[in-house]
Structure 1
């Protein structure tokens, strides 16, 4: 089936919730560089395939994963802190948007309420989007709370009122949809990682995957997968199905 005939493109969302890293901002290479530097700093070597396993994972969970794979679990907190420090330095040096992302955001922001649901700290998301000139298009930004200071019930998919858990938990997407004033199934989530796709799906959003297409089984977890957000059929879908609105309550 071609994207022109895809059922998702016969539907009109009431809001759009974007991932940030790898979807809006070209920062996955910064995460990769930061992970590499942390392993070097600690004199450790990652196992083969680590980069793919770490993609889209919250930095505290990534620190724990790095430490576990290096068989040094006691270093988890230290590695997570250093990972974030290296990453934020790289983002400040080189904030670059993913090709096609800025065009798509600017097109949709005049038509629907937009939000960001990210596993990154708020400071990182705001700084990245601000440097790219995109921050003002988003009414809400949702990031995980500090999961080290509050415990969530890991046996439940329900969003705990005292903590917003990182992806792949559904909390960031469920919260973003609610803040946009829509039910989850009325919102479209846009993601580049399978971790993020799982989060949006569990929250009840329809999901558009973007970027290099994974294997067929993995890609099927999204409703539709496109190589970039400036895919002509995607832009045509927005223009045809989502009317422009005069004003939106945007973030200052």
Structure 2
């Protein structure tokens, strides 16, 4: 346990929004392999520490970063195209779920609204979850719908409202997912493996559970709790004990008659 779960232990969400890469699906290594293949395709060497800087970054931003850090800005579009092509091939060959991810999703399926908020293209998320047998459990999948702003820089926690769904660390994907699930952001839980995603969820107003190794062995960002893996018995026990949120009819009846 990296950041104690007790900070969330007395709270039950009304919806859960999962990141995909590195949270539900074991695809971070595919992105790493895809980056390396794209670098090699253009005769470039990965800069030291690039994998850490690229984690959780939208693939268009990643392609641009690959070009910038190798002093080949003119290759940004070509590197982006190559990166996505290599990644799609790797995912199709080897769709694996992260430890505990499938069990947690199946425990929640039908009990709470479930959604995915990802920086990946929609076809990548659909393909990954479909091959893993998890797609049917999610009501909504939210991905960026427009070109990312450079570095994802932006305003504070609430962000700006626009028709374009911007990539993490903007709050848009998580804010949209909570809205589609029919809940207020503060009643939803985000499950994330990167500080970029944690920031996105926090800015949208969701509570956050980080999972996996800490990016720099110390910084948990805005996470409410951080665990090594979703198959941690404490995590699964916590999930099993969540209260089921009342249906709209039950809620109205409670308001009409008052507490018993």
Superposition deviation, residue 4 in structure 1? 7.1
Q: Tell me, yes or no, if the aligned pair for 1:100 and 1:230 is still in contact at 8 Å.
A: yes
Instruction: Map 1:127-166; keep pairs closer than 5 Å.
Output: 127-147=127-147, 155-156=154-155, 158-166=159-167
User: Which residue in the other structure is 1:70 paired with?
Assistant: 70
User: Which residue in the other structure is 1:202 paired with?
Assistant: 203
Instruction: Tell me which moved more, 20-29 or 3-12.
Output: 3-12
User: Which residue in the other structure is 1:188 paired with?
Assistant: 189
Cα distance in 1 for residues equivalent to 2:184 and 2:245: 21
User: Which residue in the other structure is 2:243 paired with?
Assistant: 242
Q: Secondary structure at the match of 2:241?
A: helix
* Aligned-pair Cα RMSD in Å: 2.3
User: Which residue in the other structure is 2:100 paired with?
Assistant: 100
Cα distance in 1 for residues equivalent to 2:4 and 2:170: 31
2:111 matched to 1:115?
Answer: no
Q: What's the TM-score, normalizing by structure 2?
A: 0.87
Q: Which runs of 5+ in 1 are unaligned?
A: 247-252
User: Which residue in the other structure is 2:44 paired with?
Assistant: 44
* CA deviation profile, 1:70-125 (whole Å, cap 9, x unmatched): 01111111111110010001000111111110001000123210000000000010
Q: Which runs of 5+ in 2 are unaligned?
A: 248-260
User: Which residue in the other structure is 1:250 paired with?
Assistant: none
User: Which residue in the other structure is 2:179 paired with?
Assistant: 178
User: Which residue in the other structure is 1:56 paired with?
Assistant: 56
Cα distance in 1 for residues equivalent to 2:8 and 2:154: 31
* CA deviation profile, 1:143-192 (whole Å, cap 9, x unmatched): 001317x99x9644534432111111110000000000111111000001
User: Which residue in the other structure is 1:233 paired with?
Assistant: 234
Q: Tell me, yes or no, if the aligned pair for 2:2 and 2:228 is still in contact at 8 Å.
A: no
Cα distance in 2 for residues equivalent to 1:36 and 1:245: 48
Structure 1 residues 111 and 26, CA gap change in structure 2 (3 angstroms): same
Cα distance in 2 for residues equivalent to 1:21 and 1:5: 22
Q: Tell me, yes or no, if the aligned pair for 1:116 and 1:142 is still in contact at 8 Å.
A: yes
Structure 1 residues 154 and 50, CA gap change in structure 2 (3 angstroms): closer
Structure 1 residues 4 and 83, CA gap change in structure 2 (3 angstroms): closer
Number of aligned residue pairs: 244
Which of the two has higher C-alpha Rg? 2
Superposition deviation, residue 242 in structure 1? 2.8
Cα distance in 2 for residues equivalent to 1:28 and 1:5: 24
Superposition deviation, residue 139 in structure 1? 0.4
